[in-house]
Structure formats: structure tokens, C-alpha cells
Amino acid sequence: QKEVEQDPGPLSVPEGAIVSLNCTYSNSAFQYFMWYRQYSRKGPELLMYTYSSGNKEDGRFTAQVDKSSKYISLFIRDSQPSDSATYLCAMSFGYSSASKIIFGSGTRLSIRP
């Protein structure tokens, strides 16, 4: 079983729709939960992060973490064609000299005008 599971999609929704992207994980020691966005032919970029459980909002984007269910979500409100990208969830254990990040496989999202 992978440490982080993510539905690869693709997911196609009309402009203006609410998008929900999700990941599950198996290791309860994860402390930081991130979402990265990757446009075509580019490297991923950090979109949002959350420490421990709870919600975090940034403009049209909301990240949710439910540690009891080992489940994280990213919601995009009023989706735009410019949101079309691959979204990767990611997790880390916290500060350490040999830190590394565990990534999901990514969900490809397409917003139709």
C-alpha cells in the first residue's frame, strides 16, 4: 500500500464549478499537509500547506485535513480555466535534518470554459 493515495483523474468540470480534490494516507506521523500545483511542462509549485488538522483558506482555495480519518481535501471555488493543472497532495513529518516530502501521484484537472 502506498503511503499517500490520490485519484489520478482526469477530472473535467465547467468553469465556475466547485472542485474537490482528495487524498488519503496511512502514516499517522505526518504533521504537514500540502497541495502543489503543476502546469504543463513546468515543475510543481507549492499552493497551500496546513499544519496538523483543520481548515485553511486562501482566496478561492480551501485546504482541509482530517487526521482522524487520514484524509485531506482541496476545494476550489469559482473554478477558472487557469486552474487547469495537475494537483499533487504531499505530506511531511516535520523538521529534521534529512527532511523529505511524500507526494501523491497527482490529479489532472481541466476546467472547461
Under DSSP, the state recorded for 83 is G
Cβ(104)–Cβ(88) below 8 Å: yes
Rounded to the nearest whole angstrom, what is the least distance from the CB of residue 5 to other proteins in the complex?
A: 10
Site for other proteins in 85-104 (CB under 8 A): 88, 90, 92-101, 103-104
Q: How many CA atoms lie within 13 A of 97 on its CB side?
A: 0
Query: Toward other proteins, which CB reaches closer, 17 or 32?
Result: 32
Site for other proteins in 46-75 (CB under 8 A): 46, 49
CA geometry: angle 52, 56, 57, nearest 5 deg: 170
Query: Toward other proteins, which CB reaches closer, 17 or 49?
Result: 49
Query: Toward other proteins, which CB reaches closer, 34 or 72?
Result: 34
Residue 35 makes contact with other proteins by CB under 8 A? no
Cβ(96)–Cβ(30) below 8 Å: no
